[in-house]
Structures are given as C-alpha cells and as structure tokens.
Chain A
Amino acid sequence: MGQTITEKIFAAHVRDTPTPDNMVIDIDVIMCHEITTPIAIMDLVDKGMDRVIDPDRIKAVIDHVTPPKDSKTATQAKIMRDWARRHKIKDFFDIGQNGVCHALFPEKGFIRPGNTVIMGDSHTCTHGAFGAFAAGVGTTDLEVGILKGVCAFRKPESMKIEVTGNLPSGVYAKDIILHIIKTLTVNGATDLVIEFCGPVVDGMNMSSRMTLCNMSVEAGATSGLCLPDRVTAEYLWPFIQEDYDSVDQAAEDYKKWHSDPDATYAKTLTIDVSDLEPQVTHQYKPDQVKDITELAGTTIDQVYIGSCTNGRIEDIREAASILKGRKVAGTVRGILTPATPAIYSQALEEGLIKIFMDAGFCVLNPTCGACLGMSSGVLAEGESCASTTNRNFNGRMGKGGMVHLMSPLSAAAAAVTGEITDPRPMMNA
C-alpha cells in the first residue's frame, strides 16, 4: 500500500512502536528557544540529567524577548547561554545573530527534506515547508528530545489539501491559509498532518510555503508540510552543494519523499483560490475569518509587521510596495520587526527600511516581541492591531487588545488609512 510523505519519514526514523498506534521516532533537529527551554534545562539539572544527546543536533536561539526587557527575561537568556556553552552547542544564536526561530533556522539550512524536527513551540510546523516532519511539543517532550533524541507520536494520519486555481493579484499565502483555517475550523485538523499540494503550492516560493505551514497548528494540525521539489532544492543549494552535483539532481532525489499516488488520507480538501479576496480575522479565534471588504472601516490603533508567519524579506517587500511614498495615518503606530538579521540587512540594502521609516514606522530588531504580547508593542485595553502574525487570541498582544490577522499587504494598507482596508486599489496607485 502506498505511503504519505509523513509515513515515509516516520518509517525512516522509527525507534520503537510501544503500541500499534504509537511510534517513538528519532529526531534529527531539536530546536530550543529561551521561553520553553530554560525550565527544561533547570529540571534536567535538578534531576542530575544535565546532558545532551548530540550538540550538533541541537539548534538554539534567544528570540522571544531580545534584548531582555527585565531581570526575569535576562535570567532566561542567561540560562540558555550558559547551557549552550556548557554543552558546546555551536549553533546557538544570541544578540546580533538572533532572530525569530522559525525564520532563522530555515535560513541557516538546518532543515532538510525527510528530517524530523521538534521544538518547544507550536509553530515548529513552519519547517514542514521543506518536506520535513516538524512538530511543536511541550517542555517534557523537549527534555526527552534533548536527553535521548527521541519523541513519541501517534501513528501519523494525513489530510491532503490541494490548492488550485489562479491566485488573484493582491492575495497571498496568508489569505489562503486564513481561508483554509476558516474552512477547517480550529480543530478541523487535530491529530492530522496537513499535506499542502496542488499547482498553487507548487508555484509558491519557500517563504509562502512557510506561511502556509506556519498556521497549520491554528487548525489543530500536528504539522503541515509541502512536498520537497526544485524550489526547495534551490533554496537549500548553498547548503547542499557538496551532497549533489546540481539543483536538478537534488530535486530528483527529494522525490523519494513524495507521497505515493495510492497513499491513504484521513481527509482531503480542494480549495480553488481564483475568487479569493484578502482575508482578515475578527474576534478571538483564528477561524473567525472574513473577506477584508466585510470589515473595511474598522479602526486600527497599531500595525505590526513581523513574526515567523510574515516577517521575511518577501513580506517586507509587499508591505513596502504599499507604503512607498505614503504616510502612516496620524492615529496609527506602525511597527516593523524583520524576522532575522539577514532579512533586516537585505531590507536595508534594498532601501525598504527607509520606505518604512519615511512612512513613519518604528523599525525594531529581529524578535518575536509583540506577537506574543511580551514586549515591543504590547496593546492597551480596548486597542486593536492589524497584524501579520498568527494568533488573535484574547489577550495575545496585551490584555483587552484585539488582533486582526492579515497579510503584510493588507497590514500596510491599514497603516496608511488607520482602518481595515482592502489593499488592492492601493497597489500600483
């Protein structure tokens, strides 16, 4: 019987099958950040188990609150830093080199097709864009990962989502995934791995694929992934040159991870995006999504462009295309956080940072910052934010604040007008 990509990856990594429904798999990449890892480190130290399975399989970053905002966050950073030094973890990224984990680690070429990845962070599914199985886990799973290099999952079942049609101008991966979450609801993919495929996904760059996979967890999915292809191989080329003669050869080899035509899926869904409008969330759940024209005119106090969902160079370019020659409305605070130093520096080189600053945006260093309401743009009670992030939960960006999730293009349009605005008429205008 045919296998899905996820079944192939599990089969290649299986360590144990404690019951017919559960698998313990070897983990290739164990990623760590300073919010969920320090407590794991402290617990391992307490239990006399302060060891790591293999420092080269561990990738660590301080990204959520950086530079630290107070003594507590400074302590979390210090625990990570000391631990990385103690265990000679060479891929550890601190101030100057640090950025949002799910943007930084792909950029470093750490994730390859067929890999298994865990992190104490629910948006670890982002890395599925590379044809890897990447799942967010809790601190105990992370501890076991660090110590033993394994993690337990239920036998994986998949949902296939085929994206077809012609994506209209002004509509992006973010709009597609918001629309998908609305269709599936917040638990429509629980215990499933979403396989994004179809011509629209095949035509996407890695940045857009990461945006899609990033929000799989908002539909409850264990992970989301795309089949690795030439686009994947091209992105990874600087890191895989020694393994392959050419990009084509790599792309050919990656086909071994493709799902078989007769693979079994728990659910399938086809989405035609030809008539899709820009999408935006209302209320406090990521499946509460409407067409942007339905919410047009809703007042916005802050615009936040950044995060692991939409803080990459492609996103900044989109937003800048609207902001160029325009100004942020007097009632709005605009905040840009490029997701990594490389993205920041690329945006500087392309003159994009100047466009944002001329428009009246505040440009921050790479960090998660306001995305989780811990620093760098927390909302006051009753305020609302047009945000390119991934969660609109009550209190997410500050107690009593409302978050409207949208694409970078739509967020830039909101910055200019001070209200939720269809960005399409502002394009090339």
Chain B
Amino acid sequence: MKEFGGSAFFIDRDDINTDEIIPAKYLTEITKRALQPHLLEDLILNDKGFDTSAPDFQQAQVLVTRSNFGCGSSREHAVWALEVNDINVVIGTSFARIFRQNMFNCGILAIEVAPEDVEQLFALNGEVIIDIDLENDTVIAKSDTKTVKCSFSLNPFDKELVGAGGWLAYADQKY
C-alpha cells in the first residue's frame, strides 16, 4: 500500500467548509492542477485571512485540524486541491460525510482521532513529522523533542478503497 504522512501543518479551527478549501469561482477549471495555487485561499483564521504562501504550509503533506472539516458543498475539487498540493492525509476529530468519502474515493486518508489526541498533536512544538501506520492504525507524530502516538479506527471498506487506489478502480472490478 501507498505510504502516507509527511510534514504536518496545523489549522486550529472547526467547521472548515469546502468553499474555504476551494472557492466556487475555481470550479470552472477542468484540470486538477489549476486548483493548486488556490487551496484554502478563503480560509478565515482568528478573524483574519490566511496566508497561503507561508513556507510551512507550502511544504505540508499532512493537515491537522479540529472537527467537521470539509463541510458544505460536495465539490471533490476540495480533495483534488489537497492532492495537487501533495497533501495525502487530513487528521481531525470528525469530517463531513461527503468530504470524507471523497478522500477515500480518491485513495487518500481522512483520519478521525479522539479530541484529546488532537489536543496532544496541537501541543507539539516546532516542526512536526507525521507517519501513518496503516497496519496498526496508528498516527505517529514526531517533533524535535517529543513523539506522540495515537490510534484511530478506519472503516474497513474505506481502507479497502485506499488499497484499491480509489472507488472507481474498486467498483470497476467488482460491479
């Protein structure tokens, strides 16, 4: 199976919606690549706009956030905008259903962990590297000074989809 994880970026907010992840005006694009510069362009953080040019955001492969990430519109563009920015994992306490399914359908991970575990991840300082151990359903987060491990449970079907490389490949074989 594909490897998941990498350098982490933390977004301390609940209910980040897909209009914030990729605004509707980019839905006229017909290539995924065109979405790349616009990821989270309309995000509001601490009542301010979000600086998408921050180097640690640009380098991120894992996003760590709070609850109900990906609510709102069904646009899979939100997942593609992550994909073309090389983000392959989002970790939070919960996700909106359609977004979560879109992630697994594309063969990448939406991982739900307990609120106290998210708290622990947010408490890490400095640069954080996160690895996802899919054999043992464990998130391993390392900072310079500390390692945090937390477990998650993945719906077995969603795991199969990730293994198959997404829902289209799975369904084409099976149905």
Contact = CB atoms under 8 A, between A and B. Distances in A.
A154 B158 CA distance: 10
Nearest to A26: B175
Greatest chain A CB density within 10 A among B29, B42, B157 is at: B157
B65 interface: no
B76 A372 contact: no
A187 interface: yes
Given A73-B28, A140-B106, A374-B27, A186 B172 contact: no
A222 B73 CA distance: 12
B6 interface: no
A138 to B, nearest CB: 4
A373 B25 contact: yes
Contacts of A16: 174-175
B160 interface: yes
B168 interface: yes
Given A18-B157, A136-B98, A394-B20, A121 B28 contact: no
Given A140-B166, A191-B97, A285 B15 contact: yes
B76 A138 contact: yes
B30 A38 contact: yes
A137 interface: yes
A120 B74 contact: yes
A222 B95 CA distance: 12
Q: How large is the interface on A (under 10, 10 to 19, 20 to 34, 35 or more residues)?
A: 35 or more
A75 B28 CA distance: 9
Q: Top 9 nearest A-B pairs by Cβ distance?
A: A138-B102, A138-B76, A140-B105, A72-B28, A22-B157, A187-B68, A139-B76, A122-B74, A136-B74
Given A140-B76, A373-B24, A39 B30 contact: yes
Nearest to A119: B74
Interface stretch (A145-153, A252-260, A405-413): A145-153
A144 B28 contact: no
Interface string B62-90: 00000110011111100100000000000
Interface in A350-405: 372-374, 391, 393-396, 399
Contacts of A136: 74, 98
B171 interface: yes
Interface string B16-28: 0101100111011
Contacts of A120: 74, 76
Interface string A11-31: 000011011011010000000
A137 B98 contact: yes
A373 B42 CA distance: 13
17 contacts: A22-B157, A49-B172, A76-B28, A120-B76, A124-B74, A137-B74, A138-B101, A141-B167, A144-B171, A147-B168, A147-B172, A220-B96, A222-B97, A285-B15, A393-B72, A395-B42, A399-B42
A264 interface: no
Interface of A: 15-16, 18-19, 21-22, 24, 35-36, 38-39, 42, 47, 49, 65, 70, 72-73, 75-76, 79, 120-122, 124, 136-141, 143-144, 147-148, 150, 152, 154, 186-187, 190-191, 220, 222, 284-285, 372-374, 391, 393-396, 399
Greatest chain A CB density within 10 A among B20, B73, B74, B160 is at: B74
B79 A138 contact: yes
B14 to A, nearest CB: 8
B35 to A, nearest CB: 11
Contacts of A141: 101-102, 105, 167
A220 B71 contact: yes
B126 interface: no
Interface string B141-175: 00000000000000111001000001110011011
Contacts of B174: 16
A143 B74 CA distance: 14
Given A141-B105, A393-B20, A395-B23, A76 B30 contact: yes
Interface in B24-80: 24-25, 27-30, 42, 44, 67-68, 71-76, 79
Nearest to B24: A372
Contacts of A36: 27, 74-76
A18 B167 contact: no
A154 B101 CA distance: 10
Given A76-B28, A138-B76, A147 B171 contact: yes
A374 B97 contact: no
A289 to B, nearest CB: 14
B96 A190 contact: yes
A190 B19 contact: no
